[in-house]
């Protein structure tokens, strides 16, 4: 059994490692080392917490740690990069559910301590947490009740919201925004009832108030995320990441665990900041995101004229051979087709031919922040030719060829031209300003978000139909 001094020192060390990890992830070249900081910090946190003072039950705790580590290792090896967004959403749900269980258990232990005090005031065979509760003054117990309420509410919203986000990202739930009759009034009513239940609980009502609060929060999480369209799922994942952090922080206060408080605050604040940045990139209102109030259409969309004109690999190759400047815009379709290696091979061949090749990355490309950057780094695409939207958007007008691989909303001119579009006002990559645009796409459908794209019908656009990896591999032998 380790002393409290060791545990406190380990908590500080782990917190520093987590901060270094977050800081390093902002730079692609330092990201690998930053991940190892995070892994080391978590290992330190788990070990010193598990063997700290007042902890017991190792006969079942250690097997559970081993089983959990085994499942995590198996999942890490099995999950493809295309499935990473839904995996992240699933992991967020675990944090939320853990917060609910810890908060309910904390209240049961609180009631047990109070019952013992009322009978004879003797400390019986209490758990480590109950022993901690027994040392608290009445005002501290009142604050503990507030922590319990917050832990249950935030955790329950995070759990069901993350489950729905997982379903939408995995294609198991319709990506279109859907709400029950009553819409946001149902959410507002559930939130008002939650406040009422919290007040009743804080004024001495029974354990049933917490169970009812959890059920209402489960509903709110479900209904909030169901009301958000698939086009906005990247922001939703980031938002739920923030929620899971605050849920972890609530657990930390309940358990008097400084490390959980620090870690939860880091995750919660960084997730909130990232959500705000992404909302700005999509011209969304941050409050609307939190309330689940966007994702639907604003009115009748503008009519699209023209037709989609297909082109074969030989035609695309001819244009690439004649071009001097080329920009590639990747989207989720590249991830689905696992075409990043084919893209990298094409880039190397084009650059060897003396052509200027760069990538344009939208902040919400894919279904997870940084999704495209990770895929391109995995395929060993040089960092210096991967540019963000603000860095490259003004260059499309002077570019000979743009290749769009599996993108829809982030290259949709309706965002700027149609005020009734669901993505009206969203900053997009202005690929249509280039001399020629080739769109690699499986078929003529509207894609995951269900929003039609006028780009596909423009005179300088050609549709390069087929699986992205197969299409790009067909180009390679034709590049001079």
Query: Catalytic annotation on 384?
Result: no
* Per-residue confidence (pLDDT) for residue 345, from 0 to 100: 94
Per-residue buried b or exposed e for 33-61, using 16+ beta carbons within 10 Å of the residue's own CB: ebeebbebbeebbeebbeebeeeeeeeee
- Structural contact between residues 272 and 244, judged by C-beta atoms closer than 8 angstroms: no
- Say yes or no to pLDDT of 292 above 90: no
* Per-residue confidence (pLDDT) for residue 224, from 0 to 100: 86
Please tell me the least confidently modeled range out of 3-7, 107-111, 433-437, 443-447. 443-447
* Per-residue confidence (pLDDT) for residue 296, from 0 to 100: 46
Pairwise pLDDT comparison (114 vs 224), residue with the higher score: 224
Pairwise pLDDT comparison (385 vs 447), residue with the higher score: 385
- Say yes or no to pLDDT of 298 above 50: yes
Mean pLDDT of the region 338-343 = 92
Pairwise pLDDT comparison (346 vs 255), residue with the higher score: 346
Please tell me the least confidently modeled range out of 113-122, 245-254, 291-300, 372-381. 291-300
Choosing from 107, 409, 418, 480, which is the catalytic residue? Answer: 409
* Per-residue confidence (pLDDT) for residue 136, from 0 to 100: 65
pLDDT digit string, tens, across residues 187-221: 889 999 999 999 999 888 889 999 999 999 999 99
- Say yes or no to pLDDT of 294 above 50: no
Which residues are CB-neighbours of 451 under 8 A, at least 6 positions away? 231, 408, 409, 412, 414, 421, 422, 423
Mean pLDDT of the region 95-123 = 77
Pairwise pLDDT comparison (446 vs 327), residue with the higher score: 327
Q: What percent of the chain is modeled with pLDDT above 70?
A: 86
Place of tokens 């780094």: 377
* Per-residue confidence (pLDDT) for residue 373, from 0 to 100: 85
* Per-residue confidence (pLDDT) for residue 244, from 0 to 100: 86
- Say yes or no to pLDDT of 462 above 60: yes
Q: In the structure, what pLDDT confidence band is assigned to residue 129 with cuts at 50, 70 and 90?
A: low
- Structural contact between residues 165 and 116, judged by C-beta atoms closer than 8 angstroms: no
Apex CA 372: angle with CA 368 and CA 374, to 5°?
90
- Say yes or no to pLDDT of 59 above 70: yes
* Per-residue confidence (pLDDT) for residue 304, from 0 to 100: 72
Under the phi-then-psi rule, with left for phi > 0, alpha for psi from -120 to 50, and beta for the rest, what region is 463? beta
pTM of the model: 0.76
Apex CA 374: angle with CA 287 and CA 88, to 5°?
50
* Per-residue confidence (pLDDT) for residue 449, from 0 to 100: 61
Pairwise pLDDT comparison (89 vs 234), residue with the higher score: 89
* Per-residue confidence (pLDDT) for residue 295, from 0 to 100: 43
Q: Cα separations (Å) of 280 from 177, 392, 448?
A: 21, 18, 22
Mean pLDDT of the region 117-145 = 64
pLDDT digit string, tens, across residues 159-170: 999 998 888 877
* Per-residue confidence (pLDDT) for residue 297, from 0 to 100: 47
Indicate the burial class of 396 (C-beta count within 10 angstroms; 0-12, 13-18, 19 or more). buried
Q: In the structure, what pLDDT confidence band is assigned to residue 120 with cuts at 50, 70 and 90?
A: low
130/110 Cα distance (integer angstroms): 7
* Per-residue confidence (pLDDT) for residue 1, from 0 to 100: 65
pLDDT digit string, tens, across residues 357-399: 999 999 888 777 778 888 888 888 998 899 999 899 999 999 9
* Per-residue confidence (pLDDT) for residue 135, from 0 to 100: 64
- Across 117-126, 219-228, 415-424, the highest mean pLDDT is recorded for 219-228
* Per-residue confidence (pLDDT) for residue 119, from 0 to 100: 61
Mean pLDDT of the region 280-285 = 71
Average pLDDT score, the chain: 83
């Amino acid at each position: 059994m380790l002393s409290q001094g060791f545990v406190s020192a380990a908590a500080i060390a782990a917190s520093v490692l987590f901060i270094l990890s977050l800081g390093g992830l902002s730079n692609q070249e330092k990201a690998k080392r930053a991940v190892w900081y995070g892994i080391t910090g978590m290992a330190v946190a788990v070990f010193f917490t598990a063997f700290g003072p007042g902890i017991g039950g190792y006969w079942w705790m250690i097997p559970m740690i081993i089983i959990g580590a085994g499942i995590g290792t198996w999942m890490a090896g099995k999950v493809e990069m295309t499935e990473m967004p839904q995996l992240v959403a699933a992991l967020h749900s675990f944090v939320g559910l853990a917060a609910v269980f810890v908060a309910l258990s904390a209240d049961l232990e609180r009631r047990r301590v109070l019952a013992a005090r009322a009978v004879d005031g003797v400390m019986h065979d209490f758990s480590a947490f109950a022993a901690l509760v027994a040392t608290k003054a009445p005002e501290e117990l009142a604050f503990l009740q507030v922590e319990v309420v917050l832990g249950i509410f935030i955790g329950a919203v995070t759990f069901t919201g993350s489950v729905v986000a997982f379903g939408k990202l995995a294609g198991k739930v319709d990506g279109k925004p859907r709400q029950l009759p009553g819409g946001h009034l149902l959410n507002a009513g559930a939130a008002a009832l939650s406040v009422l239940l919290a007040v009743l609980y804080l004024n001495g009502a029974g354990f049933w108030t917490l169970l009812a609060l959890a059920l209402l929060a489960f509903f709110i999480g479900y209904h909030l995320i169901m009301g958000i369209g698939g086009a906005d799922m990247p922001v939703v994942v980031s938002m739920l990441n923030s929620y899971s952090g605050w849920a972890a922080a609530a657990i930390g206060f309940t358990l008097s665990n400084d490390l959980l408080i620090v870690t939860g605050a880091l995750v919660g604040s960084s997730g909130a900041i990232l959500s705000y940045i992404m909302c700005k990139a999509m011209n969304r209102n941050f409050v609307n995101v939190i309330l689940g109030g966007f994702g639907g259409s604003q009115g009748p969309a503008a009519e699209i004229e023209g037709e989609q004109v297909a082109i074969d690999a030989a035609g695309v190759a001819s244009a690439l051979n004649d071009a001097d400047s080329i920009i590639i815009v990747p989207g989720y379709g590249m991830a689905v087709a696992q075409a990043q290696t084919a893209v990298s091979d094409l880039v190397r061949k084009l650059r060897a031919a003396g052509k200027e090749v760069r990538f344009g990355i939208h902040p919400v490309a894919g279904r997870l922040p940084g999704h495209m950057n990770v895929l391109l780094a995995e395929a060993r695409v040089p960092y210096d030719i991967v540019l963000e939207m603000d860095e490259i958007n003004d260059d499309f007008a002077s570019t000979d060829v743009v290749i769009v691989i599996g993108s829809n909303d982030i290259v949709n001119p309706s965002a700027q031209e149609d005020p009734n579009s669901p993505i009206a006002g969203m900053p997009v990559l202005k690929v249509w300003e280039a001399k020629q645009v080739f769109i690699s796409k499986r078929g003529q459908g509207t894609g995951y978000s269900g929003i039609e794209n006028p780009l596909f019908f423009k005179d300088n656009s050609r549709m390069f139909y087929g699986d992205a990896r197969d299409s790009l591999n067909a180009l390679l032998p034709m590049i001079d």
